[in-house]
Amino acid sequence: MSVAIVNYGSGNLHSATKAFERAARSSDYSGDIVVSADPDFVRTAERIVLPGVGAFADCRRGLDAVPGMIEALTDAVRRRGAPFLGICVGMQLLASRGLEHEITAGLDWIAGDVAPIEPADTSLKIPHMGWNTLAPRQSHPLLAGIPTGEHGLHAYFVHSFHLKPTLADEIAATTDYGGDIVAMVSKDNVAGTQFHPEKSQRLGLALIANFLGWRP
Amino acid sequence: MLKFRVIPCLDVKDGRVVKGVNFVDLRDAGDPVESAVAYDAAGADELCFLDITASHENRGTILDVVQRTAEACFMPLTVGGGVRTIDDIRNLLLAGADKVSIMTAAVHNRGFVKDAAEKFGSQCIVVAIDAKQTAPGKWEIFTHGGRNPTGLDAVQYAREVVALGAGEILLTSMDRDGTKSGFDVALTRSIADAVAVPLIASGGVGTLDHLVEGIRDGHATAVLAASIFHFGEYTIRDAKRHMAAAGLPMRMD
C-alpha cells in the first residue's frame, strides 16, 4: 500500500512529501509515501498525488518528459479508480486546456480552461497570494471535519491563473477574491486543490489525512 | 476574503540565527528551525529567512536549514540573501522554499528576473528592494546593506522588475531600518500603487500601530518585522489582534 507523489521535476516535492508523511503518522495511515518518477510504480500505487508549481505549459512539458507517465496516470486513476489529488498546477493540469502564455492541452479529466484571474476590483493584486477561506459547494470527504466558511480555517493560495470548470457540479469549493475563484475540484475519485495543503498548516494536514483515508 | 499577512524575518548566518528568538524557551535559540517552529505555532502567516552568510564555502548551510524547516513547518517560506543564479533558486526551491527573494543580482542584471520567472513561475520570484530617500518624493535603490547607491529610481525599478515577472516586492526603507520609527509610508505607498503584484513592507517597525500603517496607509498586503517579535516585545498574535481591531482582515486560525 503506498501513496505515489509523482516526480516530474516540479518544485514543491519536498514540502509535499513531508506534509504527507506528517499526516500519515497522525492518521495512522500504514502505507508508504513514495516520491516516484517510475510509471510502473505510479500505475500500481494505491493513491496518487500530482504536485505542481510554476507555469502550466512547463509542468505539462515536465509530465510529458517522463516516458509513459501520462498513460500510467490514466490507467491508475481513470481505469482503476485510484484516489487522486492534484495540487496547485497539479490541479490545473486536470483541465482541458491551459491558457497561460500559450494554449496547452491539459489531461482533460475536468472539462474547463485555466485562465488568468481577473478580479472585478482591479485594485486587487495578482498573484492571489496568501491565506483565504473556503466556501464548499458540496459536502466532500476531503473537507470532512474541517471548519470552512468565512469564520473557518484558512488555506494558502499563490496563483495568477485559475481553473474554470465547465460543469458546476465539479466545483467542490470556491474562495472569494474579487469574485469566486475555484479552490477545489472533484469528480469521482479525482480531486484537486488550487491552494497548497502542504503549506496550509491545520487545514492542509487535515485535508491530507482525509485524502489518505478516502474511499471514493 | 484574502487576509493581510504578518511575516517574521530571521537573519541566518552560517546556518545559525543572528539576533535569535527569545520569546519562548528554545533548547537552542540559534537554531533557525526551532525558531521557525515557534513562529509557526504562534500564527505567523509566512516566514522569511535572510541568509547573511559571507563566505562562499558556507553558502550551502542555508539549504540544510531550509530542508529541515520544511520538514517541521507547514507554512510558506521565503528565502533571500546571496541568490545569484538559476541554480541557487532551483536548489532553494528543491530544499523546500516556496519563494526566493533576489536583490543585488536583479539590480546588476534585470534579465535574471525574467529568466527566473520564466523558469519557476512569477509566484515564487520575490524581488527585494532596499531604498533610501534622496529628495522629497524620490527614492533610490541601494545595495550592500544601504552602502552602495545604484542611481536607480525605486518606483521605476519596481515597475520594471514586475514587468519582467517578479511576483512580489519586498520593500525595505534603508532610512527606517533599525530605527523603530515606523515604515516609510510614502515610499511604501508609491511603490504599492505603482505595481499590480503584492508588496511586503519592511524596515522600521517599532510598534503595532506601525504594522497597521504599512497596510492601511502604505497599501502593502503584508508586513515584515524582526526585532519586535524576536525579543518578545509583541507576539505575532498581539500583532494580528491589533491589526484586526483596526479593521484589517487577519487570519486568526
CB–CB contact B70 A53 (8 Å) = no
* Nearest residue of chain A to residue B72 (CA atoms): A18
User: Are the Cβ atoms of A130 and B198 closer than 8 angstroms?
Assistant: yes
Q: Among A12-16, A139-143, B165-169, B189-193, name the one with the lowest average pLDDT.
A: A12-16
Write down the pLDDT at residue B223.
98
Q: What is the reported pLDDT for B24? A: 64
B148-153 and B138-143 beta bridge pairing:
antiparallel
- Model confidence at A54, pLDDT cuts 50, 70, 90, reads confident
Mean pLDDT of A69-91: 97
Mean pLDDT over B118-123 rounds to 88
User: What is the mean predicted confidence (pLDDT) over B191-207?
Assistant: 97
Whether B180 has a pLDDT exceeding 90, the answer reads: yes
How many Å apart are CA A153 and CA B47, to the nearest integer? 19
Could you identify the residue written with the cell 527569545?
B22
Give the phi and the psi of residue A171 in degrees, each rounded to 5: -95, 120
Q: CB distance A55–B96 less than 8 Å? A: no
CB contacts of B1 in chain A (<8 Å) are 132-133, 150, 176
Mind giving me the DSSP string for A60-74?
HHHHHTSTTHHHHHI
Q: What residues does B201 pair with on adjacent strands?
A: B171, B223
Q: Do B98 and A128 touch (CB under 8 A)?
A: no
- Mark whether A196 is an active-site residue: yes
Nearest Cβ partner of A199 from B3, B76, B222?
B76
* B197 chain-A contacts, CB cut-off 8 A: 125-127
Residue of A59, A88, A128, A159 with catalytic role = A88
pLDDT score for B145: 83
The verdict on a CB contact (< 8 Å) between A125 and B198 is: yes
Contact at CB, B5 and A130, closer than 8 angstroms: yes
What is the complex's ipTM, to 2 decimals? 0.94
Residues of A in contact with B75 (CB under 8 A): 156, 199, 201
Q: How many whole angstroms separate alpha carbon B178 and alpha carbon B223?
A: 15
What percentage of chain A has pLDDT greater than the value 70? 100
User: Mean pLDDT over all residues of chain B?
Assistant: 93
Mean pLDDT value across chain A: 95
State the pTM of this model. 0.95
Confidence of residue B118 (pLDDT cuts 50, 70, 90): confident
Top pLDDT among B232 and B9 is at B9
For residue A176, give the chain B residue with the closest CA.
B1
- Is the pLDDT at B55 greater than 90? The verdict is no
How close does chain A come to B124, measured CA to CA in Å? Answer: 8
Nearest to B120 among A11, A129, A201 (CB): A11
* CB of B27 closer than 8 Å to CB of B34: yes
Name the residue facing A160 among B2, B123, B222 (closest C-beta).
B123
Contact at CB, A131 and B251, closer than 8 angstroms: yes
Rounded-to-integer distance, Cα A160 and Cα A147, Å: 26
Using the Cα atoms of residue A42, residue A106, residue A109 and residue A147 in order, give the sign of their dihedral: positive
Residues in chain A with CB shorter than 8 Å from the CB of B70 are 14-15, 18
User: Which chain A residue's Cα is nearest to B118?
Assistant: A55
What's the CA dihedral at B213, B215, B219, B225 to 10 degrees? 90
Does position A192 have pLDDT exceeding 70, yes or no? yes
What pLDDT score was predicted for residue B227? 87
What's the confidence (pLDDT) of residue B20?
Answer: 61
Closest residue on chain A to B76 (Cα): A199
In chain B, what percentage of residues exceed pLDDT 70? Answer: 97
Cross-chain Cβ contact B70/A15 below 8 Å:
yes
H/E stretch holding B41: helix B32-42
Confidence of residue B94 (pLDDT cuts 50, 70, 90): confident
Cβ contacts below 8 Å, chain A against chain B, sum to: 111
Query: Which residue in chain A has the smallest CA separation from B253?
Result: A153
How sure is the predictor about B193, in pLDDT bands with cuts at 50, 70 and 90? very high
* Active site residue ranges of B: 11, 130
CA distance B147 to chain A (A): 32
Mean pLDDT value across residues B209-215: 98
Residue A11 reports pLDDT greater than 70: no
Which tens digits make up the pLDDT trace of A149-188?
A: 999 999 999 999 999 999 999 999 999 999 999 999 999 9
For B10-51, the pLDDT digits (tens) are 999 999 988 766 666 677 778 899 999 999 999 999 999 999
Structure confidence at residue A10 as a pLDDT band (50, 70, 90): confident
The region of weakest confidence among A76-80, B57-61, B85-89, B247-251 is B57-61
pLDDT above 90 covers a percentage of chain B that reads 82
Would you say residue A39 has pLDDT above 80? Answer: yes
B-interface mutation test, from A15, A160, A180, A202, most B Cβ less than 10 A away: A15
Residue B93 φ/ψ, nearest 5 degrees? -65, -40
Contacts of A38 (CB under 8 A, 6+ apart): none
Least confident of A3-12, A71-80, B96-105, B124-133: A3-12
CB crowding A187-207: b at 16 or more within 10 Å, else e: bebbbbbbbbbbbbbebbbbb
> Which residues of chain A lie closer than 8 angstroms to B91, CB-CB?
none
